[in-house]
Amino acid sequence: MLSTSVRFKKGFHVLIGDGRSQAATLVIQPGAKVGGPQNRHGGADQWIYVEDGEGMAEIAGEILALARGSLVLIQRGESHGFRNTGEGELRILTFYVPPAYDENEKELPAGLP
């Protein structure tokens, strides 16, 4: 068993994971955006859950509004980016299956755990 507490800090941070899955947080400041057409994970599906805030996601060319409680599956290989459209932080809890980042938060090559 693995366990940790979820703490949201500015930017992207891996929380916990093993060889099969991984959890991370992403905090985007008001007016800021991350990702875009070149941002894709060739080796992992990505689930996002919006803990707090408002924003927009562009996933594979489609626009989706994000609000507290939103749950979205971004399938491996789909381009994606997020923009904070609210007045407060956009706080996202994200899960990768299999892991997408190493212990230094560097993206893993597609297909490598």
In a domain, 62, yes or no: yes
Reduced to 3 states (helix: H, G, I; strand: E, B; else coil), residue 23 is: strand
pLDDT at site 110: 75
Share of the chain above pLDDT 90, in %: 90
CATH number, domain of 78, equals 2.60.120.10
Tally DSSP H helices, then E strands, for the chain: 0, 9
Cβ atoms of 40 and 51 within 8 Å: the answer is no
Give pTM, 2 decimals. 0.93
In a domain, 71, yes or no: yes
Domain of residue 44, residue span: 20-97
Q: In total, how many domains does the chain have?
A: 1
Q: What angle do CA 104, 109, 110 make, to 5 degrees?
A: 130
Give me the pLDDT at residue 111, please: 57
Q: Is residue 52 part of a domain?
A: yes
Res 109: pLDDT: 83
